Chains A and B, each alone.
Chain A
Amino acid sequence: MTEREQPDLIEEALEGARVEPDAGLTGDAELDEYVRLARRLGDLADPDFKDSLRRELLNEAPQRRRWSRTRLLTGLSGIAAAVTLVLLLLVAFNSGVRDSVAGAVGIDDGCYEFEEADNCRPAEPRRETYPGSLPIDWDALRRPLELPSLAPGGACPITAEASEWPSFAPKGLGDGPAYAVWPNLLSPEGTFILVASNAEYEGPLLLRGRQLDGYNPVLFYNFGHPQSELNLQGGGDQSLGQPPGWRVWGGGPEVESPGCYMVQIDGTNFSAQIVFKVTSCGLLLCSLSDSVRGGQSEAAAPFRGQLGDFQVVTSADAEKGDLPNLWPCPSGLGVASAADLLASELYFPGEGAGPDGYSCPASGDVMEVSGNITVINDEPAGRETAYITRSYFRTGLPQVVMDVEESRLVLRELAGRPALVVLRSQELSPDCTVFVIERPSGAGQYGILLSISGRFSCTAAKALAEEFLLSSVQ
């Protein structure tokens, strides 16, 4: 095979193997090797998938840029120096420029890095049809989330209101065929948006979302049960006076802390991203605002003082031993196995796991019994470890050690008991922590403070705390 013939012969062999996969190889050793190699290439991951997953995980801006090769070559020396610097940084960061550039190979928006700008055009969206008589293939709708880039501290890129919007609801976000409707007309005190689709689209909708400037998931409540995605089909609620062909559903997304959030609505022939900003939150109720405001400041000094039934102290206070209200350790006890406590009230009652131990620091002021259990829920991670601690206080208010600003501390009531929720923060902690006064002090007995924390939503932490409290009722 000459060098000139090679491309056509290889193509012919590949095409033959593609059309008749079981027909065997060509008999030419070299061509057959290429065919086998091509088949192995078909088992490699799609670089677009790799890139989008990386962006989803790390909240990165797209790596791909529409650079014109011509402009790059004829650019000013300053640009060349900047590019060189970028390349050097890439070498340092990622063990070589190739590794970084290779991640950009593929079709995403029809353009490639270093592609001629004029050749760039958006790729056609995937189009499938779902005849009504066939089951819906939800997996096909579960496309990668297309997360808008958001610089740290940057403004939330709130989705614009629909330009032509029917009068049945005050406003819709997005440009169709699916929209977020705000405010919620069905349940103004709970779910804060609805989902609607216009008459142009009749198929199923799959909703997922996440926070763009933090770790919080977007959950969808199905009869009170949190889910990380929502599947919508059928006619929806037709009682809202919407135009013919429009469908409206409840069960829209709920979040628990302020921030910038995105919900992706995937239909059979489109993907719509709706970005919204939540500016104030309780544990279960958040209010949505369409005004762009700055993110939550983490620069404020940590709160210190009384908050409801709790006394918040900082770690600096704790290091100084300034925790007068905590129950003193029994004399002679140090850090040891908690087996001795099994029969006592101090026993940590976590189901399926015993206590890790208890600790009494040298100061003798603190005593706590701690343990952890694995929690399985419907949040994106699906399985998380919950850290559960019971500590004991002798008089007055239970003290919690938290270096957070006041805006992240929310007072609540759980199972009839005072609770303090520490909302999650991208910069400080991806955990939600719930403190509950399991039993107040007084009448000669010490009080019990229960804390539950883990890298899950505050809704999950709250549910776990309630379950724990109900299961450990004396």
Chain B
Amino acid sequence: MLNPEELSLERRLVEASRKKPAQFARLYERYFDRVYAFALTRTGDRSLAEDVTAETFRRAFQNIQGFEWRGVPFSAWLFRIASNAALDQLKRSGRQAAAPEGFDGGSLDSHFAEIEERARLSELVQRLPLDQARVLVMRFVKGLSTREVAEATGRTEGAVKALQARALSHLRRWIRESDD
């Protein structure tokens, strides 16, 4: 749930985007990780989640002129688009949803908690020194081996392992600090 200040900021961002499409970049940066996390939760598949995320932002970008501010957060509108896009993608691919569509009843909190957790982890990765973040992305997001990362970055495997260990250690500490 957004507080009044966040709602006000969101409203300003939406208004700015309506006046100048390039300003949509700020909404994009603000919600990208959450929409992707939502899409992955719904579809359970990285490729489908990317399709859903892309479709969500395309529709939002193209329709933001028609978005009317009636006290309902922009994010709610965005997630509704994402939900429809996920349904479309799942139908197209003939797959079952990984999580139920309705964020109703008891599932609501757990879904959004998971989405927020993934968004927060993404933000933490972006706080890491660039070389550490790079190694984590290559290792765990792209699924490369330590050797492949070493070859791609021109480092030794030992250096990659050291960067990986430092990055994980940082993340672990930051997560603990924010949990306390």
Contact = CB atoms under 8 A, between A and B. Distances in A.
Nearest to B60: A57
A10 B164 contact: yes
Nearest to B135: A105
Given A8-B161, A43-B37, A381-B58, A57 B140 contact: no
Given A53-B57, A57-B24, A58-B24, A114 B137 contact: no
Contacts, number: 149
Contacts of A385: 63, 66
Given A40-B121, A112-B130, A383-B59, 18 more contacts: A7-B158, A10-B168, A11-B164, A38-B168, A46-B141, A50-B32, A53-B54, A58-B25, A98-B126, A99-B126, A106-B141, A107-B138, A107-B152, A139-B47, A139-B51, A381-B58, A382-B88, A455-B62
B137 A381 contact: no
Interface size class of B (residues with CB under 8 A): 35 or more
B15 interface: no
Given A11-B161, A37-B168, A43 B63 contact: no
A380 B58 contact: yes
A47 B33 CA distance: 10
Given A10-B168, A37-B172, A455-B65, A110 B51 contact: no
Interface string A357-381: 0000000000000000000000011
A101 B134 CA distance: 11
A10 B135 CA distance: 14
Nearest to B66: A385
Interface of B: 21-22, 24-26, 28-29, 32-33, 36-37, 40, 46-47, 49-51, 53-55, 57-59, 61-63, 65-66, 88, 93, 117-118, 121-122, 125-127, 130, 133-134, 136-143, 146, 152-154, 158, 161-162, 164-165, 168-169, 171-172, 175
Given A34-B168, A380-B58, A42 B140 contact: yes
Interface string A442-474: 000000000000010000000000000000000
Interface string A18-48: 0000000000000001100110111111110
B105 to A, nearest CB: 24
Interface string A35-76: 001101111111101100110111010000000000000000
Interface of A: 6-8, 10-11, 14, 33-34, 37-38, 40-47, 49-50, 53-54, 56-58, 60, 94, 98-99, 101-103, 105-107, 110, 112-114, 116, 119, 139-140, 142, 144, 380-385, 430, 455
Contacts of A119: 153-154
B164 A47 contact: no
B140 A58 contact: no
A43 B118 contact: yes
Contact of B125 (A44, A94, A142): A44
B140 to A, nearest CB: 4
A45 B121 CA distance: 11
Contacts of B143: 42
B59 A45 contact: no
A375 to B, nearest CB: 12
Contact of A139 (B25, B29, B65, B93): B93
B165 A10 contact: yes
Contacts of B24: 57-58
A105 B62 contact: no
B164 A54 contact: no
Point out which of A41, A110, A113, A144 has the most chain B C-beta atoms below 10 A from its C-beta: A41
Given A57-B28, A58-B22, A107 B142 contact: yes
Given A7-B165, A45-B122, A381-B62, A37 B137 contact: no
User: What DSSP secondary structure best describes chain B's contact surface?
Assistant: helix
Given A10-B161, A43-B118, A44-B122, A106 B37 contact: no
B161 A38 contact: no
B37 A33 contact: no
A42 B126 contact: no
Contact of B25 (A10, A40, A54, A105): A54
A43 B128 CA distance: 18
Contacts of A7: 158, 161-162, 164-165
A45 B140 contact: no
B28 A54 contact: yes
B125 A41 contact: yes
A45 B171 contact: no
Nearest to A382: B59
Contact of A45 (B53, B127, B134, B169): B53
Contact of A34 (B58, B138, B172): B172
Contacts of A14: 139
B134 A105 contact: yes
B36 to A, nearest CB: 4
B12 to A, nearest CB: 13
Given A6-B165, A46-B142, A58-B22, A102 B133 contact: yes
A241 B118 CA distance: 56
Contacts of A37: 168, 171-172, 175
A40 B118 contact: yes
Contact of A33 (B122, B140, B142, B172): B172
A105 B142 CA distance: 12
Contacts of A42: 140-141, 143
A319 to B, nearest CB: 22
A11 B163 CA distance: 11
Contacts of A380: 58, 62
A45 B152 contact: no
Given A58-B21, A102-B126, A455-B65, A94 B40 contact: no
